[in-house]
Amino acid sequence: MAWLDLRFALVALLSMPLFLGLAMGIGALLRPLQSHVQACTAELSVALQESLAGIRVVKAFAREPQQMAHVDRVATALYEAYLRVAHVQALNLPLLTLLLSLAIALTLYIGGQQVIDGTLQLGSLVAATGYLAQLAQPLRRLSWLTGMASRCQAGGARLFEVLDTSPQLRERPYARDLTRVEGRVHVDHVNFHYTDGVPVLRDVSFRAEPGTVTAFLGSTGSGKTTLAHLIPRFYDVSSGRITVDDMDIRDVSLASLRRQIGMVMQDTLLFSTTIRDNITYGLDDVSEEVIIAAAKAARAHDFIMQFPDGYDTWVGERGVTLSGGQRQRIAMARAFVRDPRVLILDDATSSVDMETEWLIQQALTELMAGRTTLIIAQRLRTLKMADTILVLEQGRIVRRGPHCELVEQPGLYRRIYELQLRDQDGTETALPTSCNSALASGDSALASSPADRRA
Ligand SMILES: Nc1ncnc2c1ncn2[C@@H]1O[C@H](COP(=O)(O)OP(=O)(O)OP(=O)(O)O)[C@@H](O)[C@H]1O
């Protein structure tokens, strides 16, 4: 165009900032709208995820119409948010095309005058407008890019919110690997809070030795789970310290610490893969014999073999194709395979039948043998098995000792025993209910120790 006539080139060049300014203006308009789309998409994901994951609760409470109305409301909000974006984007291309058409009109006006004056050939004018019209394609792309860029910016902002979150729990630079430990756990004057000013654990201290069982008991919200979560360092203590074999757990690498610890919690999570992969989770090259031995010890082998595919049976998402008791025993087999020195257990098996409970109890006893066991106790059988029971109240240890001692003393344990546990005593005939009755029944003092009762 410059070769034909410098003025044509100037018209084309001067229109460029206008194109760019328009694109940027539209981009600025689109960005908050795109952020809103992202927020609405997230809200719809949550609504759908909750409705589907909690489908049984929804059905049980006959809340389908309300749940559907909620999803509908959120989906409509997303639809409207997209519509607002579409409205602005729909302006983009026509405005850019209008600007281009104005530039072409200006060229025709200037060039047309010159053609009439005879200072420009008609062919040159046609060529110049043709060149300008060639800008249409890149302009279309610019309009598309504007929309895309604002969408990426809104999405990126949310993504970086997550990526930039620094983990609260950090390994120290000089963290050592914890090699095979004996499993001596010492919780030393530990205080903990999730939120500043709201203490959850207060001055908790205890020692747990290898081969012993320490049970946590307390009313709901007293801090039992929190205490269990501090040992594998899911959270750091707010003050005080926790040691394993006299090593502060903050001085060792997280992976090596957690390799020493096996956890079987109430809400056992299984992955959607085979039973075999769930048992060997996180370990390579585990032999078939080891897997079967672990499953047998966890009293899981028999029910696994009843499935047509045995150990290759595919477990549904979060283990939904298995019963609660089966899931728990697979989780125990997982713990057996890892052979941890420290075991953290939640013995809640309220949702299983008596026979399964008995099988789980047997598996638990076998799993605990020779290890340091910390157990969130729900049942009398477990409490009687424990060498030490720590009774927690509002994050503080208010009583400690074996069942036979605590049940004799007035206080929280006695109250819990009377209110919740005594009914279970009828099924515990094999075990003495107090130190005195053990002695009265002719057992030696040694034989009445929890370790012996376990044996
Ligand atoms: N992730 C968290 N963030 C903030 N507060 C929490 C968190 N987890 C637990 N809490 C609070 O800490 C307190 C102790 O909770 P914790 O789960 O340890 O109690 P618990 O004794 O195990 O109760 P339960 O027997 O009902 O399981 C509760 O008041 C609870 O609300």
CATH number, domain of 60, equals 1.20.1560.10
How many angstroms is it from 225 CA to the middle of ligand 1?
7
Q: Let me know whether 158 and 259 are in one domain.
A: no
Strands 388-393 and 372-376: unpaired
Q: Let me know whether 48 and 88 are in one domain.
A: yes
Q: Let me know whether 19 and 110 are in one domain.
A: yes
In the predicted structure, residue 429 carries a pLDDT above the cut 60:
no
- Is residue 418 situated within a structural domain? yes
Q: Which two tokens stand for residue 331?
A: 């989780």
Residue 299's contacts (CB-CB under 8 Å, 6 or more residues apart) are: 329, 359, 360, 362, 363
In the predicted structure, residue 106 carries a pLDDT above the cut 70:
yes
How many angstroms is it from 223 CA to the middle of ligand 1?
6
Instruction: Dump pLDDT digits (tens) for 28-47.
Output: 899 899 999 999 999 999 99
Q: Which of 216, 226, 231 to mutate for ligand 1's pocket (most ligand atoms within 8 Å of CB)? A: 226
How many angstroms is it from 318 CA to the middle of ligand 1?
23
- Is residue 310 situated within a structural domain? yes
334 vs 428, higher pLDDT: 334
Closest ligand 1 atom, residue 225 Cα:
22
β-sheet bridge partners, residue 400 = 390
Supply the residue whose CA is at minimum distance from atom 2 of ligand 1.
194
- Is residue 219 situated within a structural domain? yes
Give me the residue label for tokens 């939120």.
195
Mean pLDDT (the chain) is 83
Instruction: Dump pLDDT digits (tens) for 202-243.
Output: 999 999 999 899 999 888 888 899 999 999 999 999 999 999
Average pLDDT (108-117) is 90
- Is residue 338 situated within a structural domain? yes
Q: Which of 103, 133, 163 represents a domain boundary (last residue)?
A: 163
How many angstroms is it from 237 CA to the middle of ligand 1?
15
In the predicted structure, residue 250 carries a pLDDT above the cut 70:
yes
Residues with CB under 6 A from ligand 1: 194, 200, 218, 220-226
Give me the residue label for tokens 């809200």.
43
How many angstroms is it from 89 CA to the middle of ligand 1?
48
Give me the residue label for tokens 């809103």.
36
How many angstroms is it from 254 CA to the middle of ligand 1?
23
Q: Let me know whether 212 and 80 are in one domain.
A: no
Q: Let me know whether 156 and 94 are in one domain.
A: yes
Q: Which of 128, 163, 198 represents a domain boundary (last residue)?
A: 163
Supply the residue whose CA is at minimum distance from atom 5 of ligand 1.
194
Q: Let me know whether 83 and 149 are in one domain.
A: yes
- Distances in Å between the Cα of 98 and the Cα atoms of 1, 102, 104, 298 are 21, 6, 10, 75
- Is residue 179 situated within a structural domain? no
Global ipTM: 0.96
Handedness of CA 162, 168, 173, 175 (dihedral sign): negative
Supply the residue whose CA is at minimum distance from atom 16 of ligand 1.
223
Closest ligand 1 atom, residue 216 Cα:
21
- Is residue 173 situated within a structural domain? no
How many angstroms is it from 7 CA to the middle of ligand 1?
76
What span, in angstroms and rounded, lies between the C-alpha atoms of 312 and 326? Answer: 15
pLDDT cut 70: percent of the chain above it: 89
- Is residue 345 situated within a structural domain? yes
CB < 8 Å & 24+ apart, contacts of 336-340 = 336/293, 336/294, 336/297, 336/298, 336/367, 337/279, 337/280, 337/283, 337/286, 337/290, 337/291, 337/294, 338/259, 338/262, 338/282, 338/283, 340/259, 340/260, 340/261, 340/262, 340/371
Whether the Cβ atoms of residue 419 and residue 225 lie closer than 8 Å to each other = no
Q: Which two tokens stand for residue 215?
A: 């049970």
Supply the residue whose CA is at minimum distance from atom 28 of ligand 1.
221
For residue 37, what pLDDT is reported? Answer: 93
The b-or-e profile of 108-132 (16+ CB within 10 A means b, else e) is: bebbeebbeeeebeeebbebbbeeb
pTM reported for the whole predicted model: 0.70
Q: Which of 200, 265, 346 to mutate for ligand 1's pocket (most ligand atoms within 8 Å of CB)? A: 200
What φ, ψ does residue 153 adopt, rounded to 5°?
A: -65, -45
Give me the residue label for tokens 């984007």.
89
Supply the residue whose CA is at minimum distance from atom 6 of ligand 1.
194
For residue 443, what pLDDT is reported? Answer: 38
What span, in angstroms and rounded, lies between the C-alpha atoms of 436 and 439? Answer: 5
- Burial label for 174, CB within 10 Å (0-12, 13-18, 19+), is exposed
What span, in angstroms and rounded, lies between the C-alpha atoms of 20 and 27? Answer: 10
How many angstroms is it from 67 CA to the middle of ligand 1?
28
Q: Let me know whether 149 and 244 are in one domain.
A: no
Instruction: Dump pLDDT digits (tens) for 314-355.
Output: 887 666 677 777 888 888 888 888 888 898 988 765 455 677
How many angstroms is it from 221 CA to the middle of ligand 1?
5
Q: Let me know whether 193 and 155 are in one domain.
A: no
275 vs 356, higher pLDDT: 275
How many angstroms is it from 282 CA to the middle of ligand 1?
28
Q: Let me know whether 431 and 362 are in one domain.
A: yes
Q: Which amino acid belongs to residue 401? A: G
Q: Let me know whether 192 and 152 are in one domain.
A: no
Q: Let me know whether 58 and 13 are in one domain.
A: yes
What span, in angstroms and rounded, lies between the C-alpha atoms of 433 and 426? Answer: 10
Q: Let me know whether 384 and 338 are in one domain.
A: yes
Closest ligand 1 atom, residue 226 Cα:
18
β-sheet bridge partners, residue 376 = 216, 346
- Is residue 396 situated within a structural domain? yes
For residue 243, what pLDDT is reported? Answer: 92
Q: How confident is the model at residue 78 (pLDDT cuts 50, 70, 90)?
A: very high
How many angstroms is it from 397 CA to the middle of ligand 1?
16
Q: Which of 107, 129, 163 represents a domain boundary (last residue)?
A: 163
CATH number at residue 337: 3.40.50.300
Average pLDDT (257-281) is 85
Instruction: Dump pLDDT digits (tens) for 158-183.
Output: 889 889 888 778 888 888 888 878 88
Q: Which of 192, 193, 224, 234 to mutate for ligand 1's pocket (most ligand atoms within 8 Å of CB)? A: 224
Q: Which two tokens stand for residue 369?
A: 């043998």
Instruction: Dump pLDDT digits (tens) for 127-158.
Output: 988 888 888 788 878 888 888 888 898 888 88
Q: Which two tokens stand for residue 435?
A: 């130190």
For residue 241, what pLDDT is reported? Answer: 93
Q: Based on the structure, what is the number of domains in the chain?
A: 2
Instruction: Dump pLDDT digits (tens) for 366-375.
Output: 777 788 989 8
Closest ligand 1 atom, residue 195 Cα:
4
Supply the residue whose CA is at minimum distance from atom 24 of ligand 1.
220
Supply the residue whose CA is at minimum distance from atom 8 of ligand 1.
226
Give me the residue label for tokens 């008791």.
325
- Burial label for 173, CB within 10 Å (0-12, 13-18, 19+), is exposed
In terms of residue numbers, what domain contains 137?
Answer: 6-163
